[in-house]
Structure 1
Amino acid sequence: MTRSDRVWIVDDDKSIRWVVEKALQKAGIITRSFAAGKDLLTALQNDLPDALITDIRMPGMDGLELLDKIQVSNPNLPVIVMTAHSDLESAVSAFHGGAFEYLPKPFDIKEVVNLAQRACIHGRQQEDTSLAVLANSEPTPEIIGEAPAMQEVFRAIGRLARSHITVLINGESGTGKELVAKALHRHSPRRNSPFIALNMAAIPKDLMESELFGHEKGAFTGAQLRRAGRFEQANGGTLFLDEIGDMPAELQTRLLRVLADGEFYPVGAHLAIKVDVRIIAATHQNLEILVEQGRFREDLFHRLNVIRIHIPALHERKEDIPLLLHHFLQQAATELSVESKILSAEAEAYLSQLDWPGNVRQLENSCRWLTVMASSREIQLHDLPPELLNCTTTKELSGSDDWQSLLRNFIDHQLQAKEESIAKQVIPNVEAILIKAALNFTHGRRHEAAILLGYGRNTLTRKIMELGIKE
């Protein structure tokens, strides 16, 4: 008879412990819970579960410190790290510490059970392969997001950070491909060596070979000095080749040889230069289609496509827009040494349902514009630039569910930010929007507006005064 899986849970939040315990017990898993890491470490001296689930932010000993101690004493114990801080720093720190998996809150109960079962199987099967902890991990707050698609990106960075493997990043322009490449480098064993970036679409074709491989003195007209190319500059570190799909065919052949042999000849040179470089390539194009069209070498594609990371477009993760708006408004204020602007509920709801064809880059630039141009600290809908006010969207707000979804997203964000008196903030704003819309529709006729809203005339007059609505 096979014994039941055993999973221990560590979280200072009693309600979280209860929910996770009940879900696991329902799946036939034996559980035991602890409110603090020190209590768990004491229990581990006498017993050992198949897997462990721990929160990352706890008073006293936090989840990362606990994970560190477990890696020393019980390196084969799979640890699932939970966190409400859904950012790259938390994910990378967890994976660097040897976590089996990273679970952002709020989580789906089925996902918790599935992860726990996988961890138990892994714990019974894995060999003694403890992972070293990378200390002093630099945070990269530019890459933020709570959407499931972004959590997958964070997980990929965490898993790949300790390797030297070639990575291909694909995603629309403005999604942050270079930021992901920098994060891979920053959290890798090469982090103390150069990170060199080259955008293939920004270099004239006749200069591209010299840019990549360098040239000797006198190699061509104007080459008065020897110049090291990007490969040589990146030796020991990482070379990021952005928009790799724009690389000319003849350079694709040379790049393939460097990837295969680890050496190249600068323009005009007779001796090869040996280099140790990790390649991270990126593109907004579909390389498979370029291969079919004969515009990109198939063998080079397979060399680059060892591991692929897809960066979602902003319209694919709209739940992250409020988070990004607040982040970039604060960042713009810091850059410009001014007071940080805040968004009215109406402006935030509107911006959160835009498609943002320029992705995060467009949103970041819009926040800079608003920081400079908005007339007051609170940004209103009329403060937005015309190009945003005239944007088309995937879903118009006329849909019966859309406004509810936007309001829910806003409230969720306020709750996560632990804002107080949310109802006192939201309800007056919603009422003000309703009243303004009704007055606008009736051309200022209060009696008709009151009927449409279901208010008495005196009630409407009182609310107009209380809310400071100007007609």
Structure 2
Amino acid sequence: MVPSILIVEDDLTFSTMLKTWLGKKGFEVETASTQAKARKQIGTRDFDLILSDLRLPDQDGLSLLSWLREQGNQVPFIIMTSYAEIQSAVRAMKEGATDYISKPVQPDELLKKIKEAIHQEKTPAESGKEKNAAQTTHGFLEGESEEARKLYNYVGLVAPTQMSVLINGASGTGKEYVAHRIHQLSKRSEKPFIAIDCGSIPKDLAASEFFGHVKGSFTGALNDKAGAFEEANGGTLFLDEIGNLSYEVQVQLLRALQERRIRRIGSTKEIEVDVRLISATNENLKEAIAKGNFREDLYHRINEFTLQMPSLKERPEDILLF
């Protein structure tokens, strides 16, 4: 049976080009220029996949996606968006989109994503072989469960951006691995990945660990020392258990993130730094904010994108695999 695709796109030239090209690739293709027309066509027949632009004349593609999911229609849905609208693509993934593709669209990449979306329901053995092969390439087992698939879809989505990421999850769920994977898939992958366990740093040494110090600035400062921000410059700084930081260090951290400058303890010289921050916690930071233990402005700064680590009981299919 020939797979059917509905293209929802108001640029008629682009829409016609896609329809012709996908038709030659063996798909049955229909088009709609507005969300209203798309709803009518979806009401009259079933499609194997919907490819929708984010920007439409009546409502955006997210509204069409929400409407479909409210109807209980789980048809694979790929959203087309510009790189500047990456946060909307993030929202689309969280609302149930199968995938997204950036404009200008690369035909080979689009064809690959369409085939993957349509043929998601493979036999477990076939799916397992492919996933294991993919996982072997970076030496870590990610799992085959639906929860794992969603998590690493989000990782792949946010990695190329500059967003700060907050990873929530219990101890032992692999938060540092996920942070490292985001770094590997980002444009900063050739630069350092520096990990700091905020729970193991004595409170009086936290500022020195982050920002460094100059010789003689405090008792025990026997030499100049570069902090984690300097070491991670150009790359990624991962702060594990960020909820353990003292209020004073939170203030200093917020300033460094806002101004992209740090000053070693005991120095008057400011150093420009360019780091992407990934944080992790097993605490409820919103509760910590309510209690006055964590700064709300820092929370918003570190939490442009949230990843929730599933526990093993939420992904029982992965237990034997692990």
Q: TM-score, normalised by structure 2?
A: 0.63
Asked whether the equivalents of residues 160 and 184 of structure 1 are also in contact (C-alpha less than 8 Å), the reply is yes
SS in 1 for 2:177: helix
SS in 2 for 1:240: strand
Q: Unaligned regions of 5+ residues in structure 1, if any?
A: 12-23, 32-50, 53-66, 83-100, 108-136, 325-471
Asked whether the equivalents of residues 191 and 235 of structure 2 are also in contact (C-alpha less than 8 Å), the reply is yes
> In structure 2, which of residues 102, 109, 113 is the aligned counterpart of residue 79 of structure 1?
113
Deviations 1:110-146 (A, max 9, x none): xxxxxxxxxxxxxxxxxxxxxxxxxxx9933424112
Partner residue in 2 for 1:271: 269
Does residue 1:182 correspond to 2:180, yes or no? yes
Deviations 1:206-259 (A, max 9, x none): 111111110011111221210000000000000000000101100000011011
Instruction: Give the superposition deviation at 1:74.
Output: 7.0
2: CA distance between counterparts of 1:152 and 1:257? 34
Which AA in structure 2 matches 1:163? Answer: T
Aligned-residue RMSD, C-alpha: 3.5
Asked whether the equivalents of residues 175 and 313 of structure 1 are also in contact (C-alpha less than 8 Å), the reply is yes
Q: Unaligned regions of 5+ residues in structure 2, if any?
A: 8-18, 27-41, 50-76, 79-100, 124-134
2: CA distance between counterparts of 1:320 and 1:8? 39
Deviations 1:133-180 (A, max 9, x none): xxxx99334241122111111111111121121000010000000000
SS in 2 for 1:323: coil
Superposed counterparts of 1:104-143, under 5 Å: 104-106=120-122, 139-143=137-141
Number of residue equivalences: 229
> In structure 1, which of residues 157, 161, 172 is the aligned counterpart of residue 159 of structure 2?
161
Partner residue in 2 for 1:302: 300
Higher relative strand content? 2
2: CA distance between counterparts of 1:289 and 1:244? 14
Partner residue in 2 for 1:173: 171
Does residue 1:286 correspond to 2:287, yes or no? no
Distance 1:102 1:299, change over 3 A: farther
Deviations 1:185-210 (A, max 9, x none): 01110000000000000111111111
Partner residue in 2 for 1:90: none
2: CA distance between counterparts of 1:74 and 1:303? 36
Asked whether the equivalents of residues 149 and 317 of structure 1 are also in contact (C-alpha less than 8 Å), the reply is yes
Distance 1:319 1:256, change over 3 A: same
Asked whether the equivalents of residues 214 and 224 of structure 2 are also in contact (C-alpha less than 8 Å), the reply is yes
Distance 1:234 1:174, change over 3 A: same
Asked whether the equivalents of residues 138 and 186 of structure 1 are also in contact (C-alpha less than 8 Å), the reply is no
Larger relative CO (CA 8 A, sep 6+): 1 or 2?
A: 2
Instruction: Give the superposition deviation at 1:9.
Output: 11
2: CA distance between counterparts of 1:160 and 1:203? 29
Distance 1:270 1:149, change over 3 A: same
Partner residue in 1 for 2:37: none
Superposed counterparts of 1:315-326, under 5 Å: 315-324=313-322
Asked whether the equivalents of residues 291 and 298 of structure 1 are also in contact (C-alpha less than 8 Å), the reply is yes
SS in 1 for 2:114: strand
2: CA distance between counterparts of 1:222 and 1:4? 67
Asked whether the equivalents of residues 48 and 118 of structure 2 are also in contact (C-alpha less than 8 Å), the reply is no
Distance 1:171 1:103, change over 3 A: farther
Distance 1:295 1:77, change over 3 A: same
1: CA distance between counterparts of 2:122 and 2:197? 38
1: CA distance between counterparts of 2:165 and 2:24? 35
Partner residue in 2 for 1:202: 200
2: CA distance between counterparts of 1:10 and 1:141? 35
SS in 1 for 2:320: helix
Instruction: Give the superposition deviation at 1:10.
Output: 7.9
Instruction: Give the superposition deviation at 1:182.
Output: 0.3
Asked whether the equivalents of residues 168 and 308 of structure 1 are also in contact (C-alpha less than 8 Å), the reply is yes
Instruction: Give the superposition deviation at 1:29.
Output: 3.6
> In structure 1, which of residues 219, 228, 245 is the aligned counterpart of residue 217 of structure 2?
219
Q: Which has the larger radius of gyration?
A: 1
SS in 2 for 1:227: coil
Partner residue in 2 for 1:237: 235
Instruction: Give the superposition deviation at 1:102.
Output: 9.1
Higher relative helix content? 1
Q: TM-score, normalised by structure 1?
A: 0.44
Which AA in structure 2 matches 1:79? Answer: K
Asked whether the equivalents of residues 211 and 262 of structure 2 are also in contact (C-alpha less than 8 Å), the reply is yes
Asked whether the equivalents of residues 289 and 295 of structure 2 are also in contact (C-alpha less than 8 Å), the reply is yes
Asked whether the equivalents of residues 102 and 155 of structure 1 are also in contact (C-alpha less than 8 Å), the reply is no
2: CA distance between counterparts of 1:30 and 1:198? 46
Instruction: Give the superposition deviation at 1:181.
Output: 0.2
Partner residue in 2 for 1:250: 248
Asked whether the equivalents of residues 143 and 180 of structure 1 are also in contact (C-alpha less than 8 Å), the reply is no
Asked whether the equivalents of residues 143 and 179 of structure 1 are also in contact (C-alpha less than 8 Å), the reply is no
Partner residue in 2 for 1:351: none
